[in-house]
Structure formats: structure tokens, C-alpha cells
């Protein structure tokens, strides 16, 4: 990921959008990013991949569907599934992109 210039932020939760159209973040107190201690409050995005617990994030999907041209939703956000099914679904979407 680092070689491709893809930024990975672990321990951040999407909170919504600020007035400038940037994604607001909330951080888990004990988390740190792989790149170091930098923990931005908001991000300008070209692509967002969200991973986490096994609960649906439909609010984030609803917030994103009117802000992007194309939105692909996979895994438990679609329906409860195993990790294998979620990875396979993400793979099928990646082939389309």
C-alpha cells in the first residue's frame, strides 16, 4: 500500500462531512496510524475503503451515495456474511473497477 501511495488509517471512524466536503474522523484513543502519530481531523478523498466490525454502516452508505459518482458496497453492509464471502464480493467489485 505504501509503495502505491495509498494511505492507511487504522483506528479512525468516519463521522460525516464538514462544510468543505471533507470526511470528518474520530479516533480511538489507543490507535496509531502505520505512518506514525499523525491523526488528521478531516480528509479530502478520491477513494474510501472502510473496514471494521460486523455491523452494518448504512448511514455512511446513505451519506456517500449522493456525494460520489460510483459507490460499491460489499460485505456486511450489503447483508451479513462470512469473511470469505465479503472478500469474494470485494474481489468481484475490484474486477469491475
Measured CA to CA, the distance from residue 91 to residue 31 in angstroms comes to: 28
For 19-60, the pLDDT digits (tens) are 998 989 888 876 655 555 578 888 888 877 766 666 666 777
Judgement on whether residues 56 and 17 belong to the same structural domain of the protein: no
Judgement on whether residues 17 and 37 belong to the same structural domain of the protein: yes
The pLDDT-based confidence of 76 (bands split at 50, 70, 90) is: confident
Q: Which domain holds residue 86?
A: 49-97
Q: How many domains does the chain have?
A: 2
Judgement on whether residues 53 and 97 belong to the same structural domain of the protein: yes
**Selected residue with higher pLDDT from 68 and 57:** 68
Q: Which pLDDT belongs to residue 34?
A: 53
Measured CA to CA, the distance from residue 41 to residue 93 in angstroms comes to: 29
Judgement on whether residues 55 and 42 belong to the same structural domain of the protein: no
Residue that finishes a domain, picked among 47, 63, 80:
47
Judgement on whether residues 18 and 36 belong to the same structural domain of the protein: yes
Which distant-in-sequence residues (6+ apart) come within 8 Å of 57 by Cβ? 50, 77
Amino acid at each position: 500500500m505504501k509503495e502505491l501511495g495509498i494511505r492507511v488509517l487504522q483506528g479512525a471512524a468516519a463521522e460525516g462531512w464538514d462544510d468543505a466536503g471533507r470526511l470528518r474522523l474520530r479516533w480511538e484513543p489507543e490507535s496509531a496510524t502505520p505512518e506514525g502519530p499523525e491523526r488528521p481531523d478531516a480528509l479530502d478523498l478520491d477513494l474510501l475503503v472502510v473496514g471494521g466490525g460486523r455491523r452494518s454502516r448504512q448511514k455512511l452508505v446513505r451519506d456517500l451515495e449522493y456525494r460520489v459518482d460510483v459507490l460499491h458496497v460489499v460485505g456486511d453492509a450489503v447483508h451479513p456474511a462470512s469473511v470469505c464471502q465479503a472478500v469474494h464480493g470485494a474481489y468481484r467489485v475490484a474486477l469491475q473497477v
